[in-house]
Amino acid sequence: MTNVVETHASEAPVRRGRGRPRNPETDTRITEAAAELMLERGFDKMTVDDVAARAGVGKATVYRRWPSKEDLAVAAMQEIYSAEIPDPDTGAIRSDLVESFRNVLGFVNSPAGQAYLRMSIAESVRDPRIAALYRASTERAEDQACRMYERAIARGEVRDDIDLLATVQWLGGLLAARAITNRPMPTVDDVEMLVDFTLNGIHAPSPPR
């Protein structure tokens, strides 16, 4: 019939002449409203009518851009997963770890961090596309951590036969486990102990073996 238009509002509009052009600001108003409601209530209790109302647009305007509520949620999460992560490089593995653990624990103990973590977990299990987004976001952080460990291996501080991926994921996994089962997060006061476990494991230092 008419010109076929790509649905996803993310990419360049690639001007096509005829008719009233879409207001690009409307895109961001909708995704911002959706992101707010996702973090406030979660996917289930967020209604598309609410999103449209908060964004000040008609529901049809939402569905003209994203074919389903799930796609809208993906777009909203995509906006959320775009933050910079500090990359400590102090020259020693212990202080690098303390620094980065401190950053992570500070975030996940904030209200925003709590909502972010719970939402990411729940929606990742529900929708593989959100899982991919969350995964990409965490992998950026993990890549940084891997380089941190590799620098330490090059310095001879860390064994070279470790499972690097399991190592960089273990803290995130612990936080996920706590979030899932509704248990208190470790706080910044626990940083020393967590770092010590990473470095030394649990073995008694000398006597046995």
**Contact between 141 and its own copies (CB under 8 A)?**
no
- Distance (Å, whole) CA 26 – CA 156: 54
Secondary element (H or E) of residue 60:
helix 59-65
Least spacing, CB of residue 72 vs its own copies, in Å: 16
64 binds DNA (CB under 7 A): yes
86: partner contacted, choices DNA, its own copies, none (Cβ within 5-8 A by kind) = none
- Kindly state whether residue 3 participates in binding its own copies, applying the rule CB under 8 A: no
SS3 letters for 30-53? HHHHHHHHHHHHCCCCCCHHHHHH
Three-state DSSP class for residue 191: helix
Number of residues written out for the chain: 209
- Residue 113's binding partner among its own copies, DNA, none (Cβ under 5 to 8 angstroms by kind) is none
CB 125 within 8 A of CB 135: no
Contact 116, 137 (CB under 8 A): no
CB of 60 to DNA, least distance (A): 3
Rounded to a whole number of angstroms, the minimum distance from the CB of residue 63 to its own copies is: 20
CA 15 to centroid of chain Cα atoms: 33
Q: How many CA atoms lie within 13 A of 44 on its CB side?
A: 3
Q: Is 175 helix (H, G, I), strand (E, B) or coil?
A: helix
Window contacting its own copies (CB under 8 A); options: 23-31, 50-58, 102-110, 158-166: 158-166
2 binds, among its own copies, DNA, none (CB under 5 to 8 A by kind): DNA
Residues within the interface to DNA (CB under 7 A): 2-3, 5, 17-23, 26, 46-49, 56-61, 63-65, 67-70
Residues within the interface to its own copies (CB under 8 A): 42, 44, 118, 120-122, 124-126, 128, 131-132, 134-135, 138, 149, 155-159, 162-163, 166-167, 169-170, 172-183, 186, 190, 193-194, 197-205, 207-209
